[in-house]
Every structure is written in structure tokens, then in C-alpha cells.
Amino acid sequence: MLVAHLADLHLGYAQFNLEEREEDVYETFNEAIDISIKEGAGLVILAGDLFHTPRPNGKAVITLANALKKLKEKQIPVVFVLGEHDISRLRDVPFAFVFSNLGLMKRLKAEEPFVVGDVAVFGADKERRGNIDALIEKLHNAEQAAKGFKKRILVMHQGLTDLNKFAGEINADDLPSGFNYYALGHYHDHQEKRFANLGGPLVYPGSLDLTPSEGIKEVEKGFALVDMSGEEAKTHWIPLHRRAQFSVRLDYGTLADGVEKVMQKAAGFAKKPVVRVEVAGRGIDSRAIAANLVRLNEACLHYVWQPLDEQSDVRVYDERPQDMDQELLRLSADALKSEELAAFAVRDLLPAASEGDASKALEIAWEAFKKRSVRP
């Protein structure tokens, strides 16, 4: 059986508050559903963050409703778990339950399988860091309940610390081993991994489109089509057609030429792209830049720009660094003037400190001091 695994749809999100960008997300989602139907998927998994906000707007709701209706007509079941974006901080019933109550999709449980063909699917909603022990226990109960089924899938919306030490809240070591496929949501970049202790691949298909934390970059987005028919679950990641987004760095001295080149590149896309422009040079006059860049309005849906004055070395982030861990180490090394100290601070001290465990952090610092293995 073929299983479509989507995550982090964020229906309703409108980048830069643009209606076009809201529509883009719906189009990409519809494309994923249409491909799933065309390829003959026997099940669709939505691994959390269905909506961008706990109280989604009408268009987001209708878009999901239409997709679910289409899938129901094709007799393709849909299952889901909740992500943090689906859960209100106020006490409220998650909006997604409207659809499960109407029988258009099924909310997954850890203690009871959803069975389709020879595949049993278990799942758990997003849990916060403080509740992870309870979640782990639930997942191991799911593993018990899964015994006896030939093919087993586990669905979660959690960050794995193995893939990102700072954003994660659960370790691969803590996951039960008895599943053939681990369908994850939460990290917005596409990641696939085999862990020695797990019975099958663990996959984050990534978000359907760029989301607020990602900035403007050239990256493919998509979803996973998983073939469960063989011994081993086989993943095919399907890229989707999205509006292009890219960054360029232009030279202040030759700005008009640079703008011309960006416009030529922009004209090559089916949809007008979103562009981020950095202008580098000395003695930059922002008004001159703005006057040049305004021409981009013809070729781009939207652009943002930032001057990079070579006379100052202040660095401003307006997008997430590619590798957050490396960036943290780099900044710490700059500040501490020592790579060794930086590694100690980030790798040893920070994990304990960020958990709020002051006595553990103090112990680590004291041990390091006694050994004198780190010194300023």
C-alpha cells in the first residue's frame, strides 16, 4: 500500500500578509492531494499543524474540507494528529475535531490502531517538553498494541533532539522500535533518517511552503509517498510546485545593472517570485537604493531589502542561519575568544542551563574548573 505523508500544512498562513501567498499554500496543498490520488495512495497522513492558527480563517477551513471531501469520494481515508499550531492556549476544542466528528478524517490514538489494509497506524498529538515522559510511555503502549499487525506506522508532531539539539524535545533512543515507518511533523525542512534502534525510516516531509521562521530562500518543499508493500518502508519524497523565492546580493556601485539581472531571473518563473536583496557597498544612501529597487515591483510579487554597509561589521539576522548550532558556536567563540570555551559553553553547559537545571549546570562548571580543562 502507498501512504501519503504530509506535515505542517499551515493552511491560512499568508507570508507578508499577501493574499497571493495565502492562495499559494492552498494550491500547493491541493497539488499534494491530487498527486496522492493520482498515484493511488491508500491512506493520507496529516502529521500536525494542519492550520496556521487554532482559529483558522474560513478559506483555510474550506480548503481542507474540499480536500477531505475529494478524498472521501475516492474512498481514501485521512488520519491526523495535532501540532502546536492546532492547539489553542486557551481551553478550547481544536478546530480540526470538526472534521473528525463529521467522519471526514480520523484522529489517531496511541492506544488503539487505525487499520487500513494490512497497515495499523498509531499516533499522538504534540506534547510539550514538560510532558515528554508521559508521551514516551504512551508510545511504548502503542508499540504493545501494534504487535500482531504486519505493517505498523507511528505518527507524531515532535522535534527530535538528534536532528536539532535546541529545538527538539525527544530523543530517537526514547522511541519504541517496533514500527516500520515513523511519520513526523514539526521540523519544516525535509529530513529522512534511519536510526539503528528504530524498525524503519523516520521522516519529516517538511512544511508545504516557506513559513515565518525560514526567511526567504531557494528550497524545495514537498511531501512523502511511502510504499509499505515491501519488507522495508520505501520513501519517495515528492517536490511540489511553489512560487519561487530567492536571495541576491547586489553591489551598491552597479545597482542598476544588478536590478536588471534580478528582473531577468524573476521573469523566468511561472509565478512572480519573492525576492530578498542585500545591497553591499560603502557609504550607502538608502534612498538611492529604494529608488532603484522600486523597478522590481514589475517582476516580483514582493521584495525585501537590506543594506550591508562594509564600513560596519554589525550583522543583522532577518532569516534563520542555515545551521543554528554552528552559528551559536561561532558567536560564542567570537564573544569568548576561545573555541574550546565556546564548545564547553554550548555543548556542555547550555543543555543543562536551558532545562533550568541550575544545580546540574553548576556541577558541570565546577567539574570543569576542578579539571582545569577549560580556562579563559
For the annotated catalytic residues, the residue numbers are 85
Among residues 64, 46, 147, 49, the alpha carbon closest in space to that of 94 is found at 49
Nearer residue to Mn ion within complex by CB, 85 or 243 = 85
CB under 5 A: which stretch of 7-15, 162-170, 272-280, 358-366 binds Mn ion? Answer: 7-15
Which DSSP helix (H) or strand (E) runs through 157? strand 151-157
Residue among 22, 24, 49, 125 that touches Mn ion (CB under 5 A): 49
43-47, strands of its sheet edge to edge: 106-107, 78-81, 43-47, 2-6, 222-227, 234-239
CB under 5 A: which stretch of 23-31, 43-51, 266-274, 304-312 binds Mn ion? Answer: 43-51
Q: How far apart are CA 52 and CA 216, in angstroms?
A: 18
Residue 40 is given by DSSP the state T
Alpha helices by DSSP H, listed for the chain, are: 19-38, 58-73, 97-101, 132-146, 255-267, 286-293, 296-299, 324-336, 339-343, 350-354, 358-371
Q: How far apart are CA 184 and CA 249, in angstroms?
A: 35
Residues 6+ apart with CB under 8 A from 231: none
Nearer residue to Mn ion within complex by CB, 152 or 157 = 157
Q: Which residue is nearest to Mn ion (CB)?
A: 49
3-state secondary structure 231-296: CCCEEEEEECCCCCEEEEEEEHHHHHHHHHHHHHHHHCCCCCCEEEEEEEECCCCHHHHHHHHCCH
Q: Verify binding: residue 8, Mn ion, rule CB under 5 A.
A: yes
Least distance to Mn ion from the beta carbon of 151, Å? Answer: 27
Least distance to Mn ion from the beta carbon of 277, Å? Answer: 28
The type of residue at 112 is E
CB under 5 A: which stretch of 32-40, 44-52, 224-232, 252-260 binds Mn ion? Answer: 44-52
User: What residue has cell string 546580493?
Assistant: 249
Spell out a b/e string for 327-365, using b for 16 or more CB atoms within 10 Å of the CB, else e.
Answer: ebbeebbeebeeeebbebbbebbbbbbeeeeeeebeebb
Nearer residue to Mn ion within complex by CB, 215 or 307 = 215
Least distance to Mn ion from the beta carbon of 185, Å? Answer: 7
Considering CB under 5 A, how many residues would be counted as binding Mn ion? 2
Question: Residue 305, Cβ neighbours under 10 Å: how many?
Answer: 17
Nearer residue to Mn ion within complex by CB, 8 or 22 = 8
String of contacts with Mn ion for each residue 98-127, x by CB under 5 A: ------------------------------
Nearer residue to Mn ion within complex by CB, 143 or 209 = 209
CB under 5 A: which stretch of 8-16, 24-32, 312-320, 354-362 binds Mn ion? Answer: 8-16
Least distance to Mn ion from the beta carbon of 167, Å? Answer: 11
Residue 11 is given by DSSP the state B
Quick one: cell of 75? 474512498
Nearer residue to Mn ion within complex by CB, 53 or 338 = 53
Q: How far apart are CA 244 and CA 270, in angstroms?
A: 9
CB under 5 A: which stretch of 42-50, 65-73, 243-251, 297-305 binds Mn ion? Answer: 42-50
Least distance to Mn ion from the beta carbon of 322, Å? Answer: 19
Q: Which of residues 183-212 bind Mn ion (CB under 5 A)?
A: none
Nearer residue to Mn ion within complex by CB, 10 or 109 = 10
> Which positions touch Mn ion (CB under 5 A)?
8, 49
